[in-house]
Amino acid sequence: MSGSDSPVDLEYRWSLVPLENILSICAMSVVMKCRNVHDTIRHFCNKSSGPSVCIVGGGPAGFYAAQQVLKTLPDTRVDILERLPVPFGLVRFGVAPDHPEVKNVINTFNKTAQNPRFQFLGNVNVGSDVTVEQLKENYHAVILTYGAEEDRVLGIPGENLNNVISGRRFVGWYNGVPADKNLQVNLDVEEAIVLGQGNVAMDIARILLTPIDKLKSTDITEYALEQLSRSKIKKVSLVGRRGPLQAAFTIAELRELIKLENCKTHWRPDDFSNVREIVEQLKRPKKRLMELMLKSLDESIQDKRSCSKNLHPIFLRSPIEMKGSDSVEEIKFSVNVLEGEISSAQIAKATGQFEEIPCGIALRSIGYRSVPIDNKVPFDMRKGHVLNTSGKVERYLYAAGWVATGPVGVILSTMTNAFQVGSMVCKEINRDIIKPGYEGLSEILKKKNITTVFYQDWEKINKVEEERGRKLGKPREKIVDINEMLEIASK
């Protein structure tokens, strides 16, 4: 059709076009207009004169803080920066693969991500790609929520022996953390010791003791599944420096562990001296936990089964030396006694006596600590978290989640903390100053040639992971290579 066609000529020529072709052309026109409208909305939001907030860290604390700010301030834009190309932090990389129900919180995060005033920017490393000072220059408020990525060490002789494994990295290994995919783990041993008695330590012990058929349908990485299927581990000792009353694991974690198929629990009756007598005085959560332990203790004494797997919870022992010629072969422990009034605050003191427990692998799970990402941000190196007062670091700079509180609590407590900090930001934000927000940040990233992964790009990665998982009969098979993630995201 030429520009000189008359209306009559055009009408005649259109009459020769099949109806389905006309409908197809109309549909494409509608789609393109819708896309243009969506892009216009996004562009308008980016140009909005309202405040802009930057959140550093795409885990639970980051998404909950974003949710609170978006809800409280209807004209505010929120950008989340995440070092990895994928979101959700510990929900993706920390939650045990056999606890899929805990990951349902991702549905809430997805809703937040659909808000036109929200933007996820993955593959952006704050501290090297952009500084915190630059973020403060471009945003009305900056919230640090990047978590705790380093594990605490014991500082004892032999800690560097082969097969002494960081519990944090072991979790990352079976959960698909890119940095942990090549972790050297030797499971061709019969005895394992897990140092620590928090929920992460319980997760590690459970993964080592769970029948492989129970793990096949989870999102555990295929390489970890293959190695666990050849594991020779028969005995796992779960060792803590204080007593049952001070144990940090929850009743749900304990119940799941002591009910594992073909696994027998071996308690030490002496560890419960004076505990039975005070159970009735305890507050309900601790009382229920002690009642479960004592019930399991009584049952274990009567249990004459011979099982292929055995769990040994051990209290009142502090590791003081790891021994072995090349790999760890045994751990020397100080025998402790508790001092102070009987409570969860009792202190463990060495008695001068010792016990040596053999093992072929030791997994250290004694807590996490945050690391400083920018030398301009005040940081407590001893405690391992950003210095703050109820979430406020300094003017227009805030912190929430584990980077602010230390690695305490569960996702619910992180949510509460992030909501509180988000509310504080909303109250203190200064609308009188003009900040460029994402436009200023994007210029910095362009100059450094940083490939940014947006939420719609993550959804491409997510789709591929789910497709690969379906072929293996599992929810997803996580991609652990960052270059592969970026390649998929760019398509």
Q: Which residue has the tokens 């001296």?
A: 273
**Residues 6+ positions from 274 with CB-CB distance below 8 Å:** 342
More confident residue, 65 or 29: 65
Cα distances from 417 to residues 80, 231, 404, 410, in angstroms, run 17, 40, 9, 11
Using the 8-state DSSP alphabet, how is residue 451 labeled?
Answer: P
Per-residue pLDDT at 342: 73
Bind-site residues for FAD: 61, 82, 90, 126, 402, 409-411
Contact assessment for residue 154 and residue 362, using Cβ atoms and an 8 Å cutoff: no
Q: Where in the chain is the domain with CATH 3.50.50.60?
A: 153-366
Q: Which fold has domain 153-366?
A: FAD/NAD(P)-binding domain (3.50.50)
Selection from 313, 252, 341, 257 nearest residue 288 by Cα: 252
Bind-site residues: 61, 82, 90, 126, 197-200, 241-242, 253, 402, 409-411
- Give exposure, 384-418, as e/b (b: 16+ Cβ within 10 Å): bbbebeebbbeebbbbbbbbbbbbeeebeebbebb
More confident residue, 414 or 29: 414
Q: How confident is the model at residue 341 (pLDDT cuts 50, 70, 90)?
A: confident
Q: Which fold has domain 55-149+398-453?
A: Rossmann fold (3.40.50)
Q: What is the pLDDT of residues 210-221, one digit of tens each?
A: 999 999 999 999
pTM for this one? 0.88
Per-residue pLDDT at 49: 66
Angle at 211 between CA 94 and CA 103, to 5 degrees: 25
Q: How confident is the model at residue 345 (pLDDT cuts 50, 70, 90)?
A: confident
Bind-site residues for NADP(+): 197-200, 241-242, 253, 409
Per-residue pLDDT at 6: 39
Q: What is the pLDDT of residues 89-144, one digit of tens each?
A: 999 999 999 999 999 999 999 999 999 999 999 999 999 999 999 999 999 999 99
CA 185 to chain centre: 21
How far is residue 56's CA from residue 62's CA, in Å, rounded to a whole number? Answer: 7
**Residues 6+ positions from 262 with CB-CB distance below 8 Å:** 211, 307, 308, 309
How far is residue 207's CA from residue 187's CA, in Å, rounded to a whole number? Answer: 12
- Give exposure, 12-41, as e/b (b: 16+ Cβ within 10 Å): eeeeeeeeeeeeeeeeeeeeeeeeeeeeee
Backbone angles phi, psi at 389, to 5 degrees: -120, 105
Q: What is the pLDDT of residues 284-301, one digit of tens each?
A: 999 999 999 999 999 999
Length of the chain equals 491
Q: What is the pLDDT of residues 300-337, one digit of tens each?
A: 999 988 999 999 999 999 999 999 999 999 999 999 99
Q: Where in the chain is the domain with CATH 3.40.50.720?
A: 55-149+398-453
Q: What is the pLDDT of residues 35-61, one digit of tens each?
A: 333 333 444 444 446 999 999 999 999
How far is residue 371's CA from residue 91's CA, in Å, rounded to a whole number? Answer: 20
Checking if the pLDDT of 484 tops 60, the result is yes
Per-residue pLDDT at 409: 80
More confident residue, 204 or 50: 204
